[in-house]
Amino acid sequence: KKPEVKVDNGASVKQLEKDIRKAEDLIASLETKKELIEQQLAQPEVYNEKSKLVALQKELKETSAQLEAANEDWEKLVNQLG
């Protein structure tokens, strides 16, 4: 059995690669969610329902923040991998 390869911070390369794939999956999911919200916001009838508009705007803001955080996490993981 080969010894596990470690990077500078002691994390295994396999674990980092697994974490990177998970981060990429999360990013893809959040990007899809954001696109769907934006498509809904592009519908004129949404602007006739203030409560729906406000809810979608809030959801878009939250999703955008989650996406930004996920991208930052991914970047950290990739940098750890070297």
Q: What is the DSSP letter of 6?
A: B
Estimate the crossing angle of helix 50-81 against helix 13-41, to 10 degrees. Answer: 160
Q: 20, 81 in Cβ contact below 8 A?
A: yes
Is the pTM value of this prediction over 0.85? no
pLDDT tens digits, residue range 1-36? 545 556 665 668 889 999 999 999 999 999 999 999
Beta bridge partners of 37: none
Q: Which two tokens stand for residue 67?
A: 């996406």
Q: Which one-letter amino acid corresponds to residue 31?
A: E
Half-sphere exposure of 77 (CA within 13 A, CB side): 19
Residues 6+ positions from 30 with CB-CB distance below 8 Å: 63, 66, 67, 70
- Per-residue pLDDT reduced to its tens digit, 42-64: 999 999 999 999 999 999 999 99
